Structure 1
């Protein structure tokens, strides 16, 4: 890497930033190579002779910086001529940071503090769990956004899992003081990932809470009965007279779908909809399966993921025409009242071209006023009219 001797350069800031950036880049390397040599670009001959006084001033600044931090320098001899007099000048062409302690002294206090914390954490868990340096620093990286209290709880939890049989416990049953029932999170949480790496396990021995799907029969005979909650594959006594299934993303819409003969409404609950094929394997033989979710990037990603599980379904109110019609109902805020952000579109292999066009617009914000139109904002009667016209739904009455 080179540093240009620009007329307005702040030499100290440039060199300090270089060392800070290097430590940040190699924060989670088990063995960072030292010394670190920083190349300083020497000026061209014409530049040197035109701006000699300024270049000498900058060279002195580099020299002072190196002396201040006890760093070595190397020099090259340059010849300067004004047409009559020739003289030589020694200009610095590299600065060498000898070791980690010197680099930490140069870097910003925040970077220094973080680097020392992360490597102290790696050292602690390496000793406690007999880990090699690469493994211990990789665990520190997983937990970089966790404070010291949480880090200590994770090591305590790892010791507990090492010493106890937890096969009959759910994650919320683990009796360790200091954290809440939800603290462990799901199987992909950073806390669980770190504990598994500490113990050299693929996964923790836990009785995971089963995923569930909620559904309701829509026919006249059953519409007042309680919802069904399915937690394991439904393979016996499956319904045989269902011709229509609608999967909706949100609970308000789920509860508002009116009474309809030979139909079932499934509460997709976001990405949980991908469980449907596993829990309701008989569903794939149903003639008409419709998905209706939010018009936002998440909703369209869920639609593609659902189809990828093997469920062939149409969508309603999830294309560019629907967006134009219901755009006044859009929102710029998420559920926490924070502005929605654009994103890079992901592959969505199961979206139609029209659905994909809307997805890309909602990801990038191009040609859109709002990044989300929530399903609940669309009048339920508009959706039912589409179901009547396109899918021959026979609604008997509204709840």
Structure 2
């Protein structure tokens, strides 16, 4: 469709309205009775601009005349403007597009069905007449529940009610007596459940209820899996692959840390995935630590890691870089391996679509790591799993990074 520079065509206006609607879902859920309207300037061409291309300017006016006839949900405001410079005198031109109310906005942008679905699911989650704090909390975590099926929405509602009635149950997560709920379900929906429980208790920030322990449950102590180097003092006869409780792992080499001797390891490699953790060869003095996904954020706080050389190798995807950034926030000396732009280019043919292509700012990444993220995004939001990279080339990269010693 013809247009003049700076003037909005109907297609331009619809794209702008669609973007506005997408931004306002949460606001509308919090304040369903609030009048929401849009007043969009259309920037009609001046007489001087029209003189340069009268045909395009006239076609632009006709496009709005035709559009107005078929879109009764909106109002096009026509204003008399001077086109004297183009030899056309004064003309009545479309100046603004006005849409009043949520119903009109969703109808105009073709999102009525989606919006009604959100409202229905919101009511199933928060109740028919939720308190303002609960309404705000549920809207704030919209991405956590908009794709849940009806069964899970009902479970969330039932679980929140149960925790409100039993604030100090002392149960293990898998023992919560709500049908269909188990430890993994609770962990997967923890943010949603804790925010709603906190809101019901009057905390709109969601900070006082952030963990399963805050819900009155007793969590099993986290377990840390390590592959220790051979010949460690006091570890004779102990398998090199050991699993320790969090407190046991944190207490390793406590005497060395409080005295003058360093821990009896010379460096640690955190590996995101178990298969790679098990497949990598051992090296004298070096420890392998299974990151177990986002658990690596906690492992990074192990006190004996603070003064050791630390390497991190994870998946080339949104989660892998988020984990790396979180680990480096605790351990600024962390050096990543196979998580730069060169690694992405080398293994791009093995990429698959990332189902969670989050591009949030990760302040602890290097320029090279950020470039790797950009390349994955520009290549179609791809991810490259750690396990798909040839082990021999991974060992070469780890050797080049200093984890393994040169032969």
Short-chain TM bin: 0.5 to 0.7
2:245 aligned with 1:230, yes or no?
yes
Structure 2 stretches lacking a partner, 5+ long: 210-214, 257-262
Match of 1:359 in 2: 369
Whole-angstrom distance in 1 between the partners of 2:105 and 2:391 = 56
- Mapping of 1:378-397 within 5 angstroms? 378=392, 389=405
Match of 1:163 in 2: 165
Whole-angstrom distance in 1 between the partners of 2:373 and 2:162 = 43
SS at match of 1:232: helix
Match for residue 149 of structure 1 among 148, 151, 159: 151
CA RMSD of aligned residues (A): 5.1
- Mapping of 1:299-318 within 5 angstroms? 305-306=326-327, 308-309=329-330
Whole-angstrom distance in 2 between the partners of 1:44 and 1:131 = 48
TM-score by length of 2: 0.65
Is the CA contact (8 Å cut-off) linking 1:342 and 1:364 kept in structure 2? no
How much does 1:292 deviate?
5.7
Is the CA contact (8 Å cut-off) linking 1:256 and 1:380 kept in structure 2? no
CA separation of 1:172/1:180 partners in 2, compared to 1, >3 Å: closer, same or farther? closer
Whole-angstrom distance in 2 between the partners of 1:381 and 1:5 = 58
2:64 aligned with 1:64, yes or no?
no
Deviations 1:195-239 (CA, angstroms, capped at 9, x unpaired):
443554531332233322122444353254772422225438868
Is the CA contact (8 Å cut-off) linking 1:123 and 1:136 kept in structure 2? no
SS at match of 2:186: coil
Whole-angstrom distance in 2 between the partners of 1:81 and 1:327 = 58
CA separation of 1:72/1:227 partners in 2, compared to 1, >3 Å: closer, same or farther? closer
Point out the more displaced range, 74-83 or 29-38. 74-83
How much does 1:94 deviate?
3.5
How much does 1:34 deviate?
4.3
2:259 aligned with 1:242, yes or no?
no
Point out the more displaced range, 50-59 or 210-219. 50-59
How much does 1:361 deviate?
4.7
How much does 1:15 deviate?
5.4
2:130 aligned with 1:106, yes or no?
no
Match of 1:291 in 2: 311
How much does 1:176 deviate?
1.0
Match of 2:350 in 1: 333
Match of 2:117 in 1: 117
SS at match of 1:227: strand
Match of 1:75 in 2: 78
Point out the more displaced range, 375-384 or 162-171. 375-384
Deviations 1:324-348 (CA, angstroms, capped at 9, x unpaired):
8x997x46436xx547989688333
Is the CA contact (8 Å cut-off) linking 2:226 and 2:289 kept in structure 1? yes
Match of 1:44 in 2: 46
Structure 1 stretches lacking a partner, 5+ long: 350-355, 393-399
Match of 2:226 in 1: 215
Match of 1:347 in 2: 363
How much does 1:157 deviate?
1.4
Match of 1:206 in 2: 217
TM-score by length of 1: 0.66
Whole-angstrom distance in 1 between the partners of 2:41 and 2:336 = 61
SS at match of 2:184: coil
CA separation of 1:162/1:278 partners in 2, compared to 1, >3 Å: closer, same or farther? same
How much does 1:253 deviate?
5.5
How much does 1:61 deviate?
2.0
Match of 1:377 in 2: 391
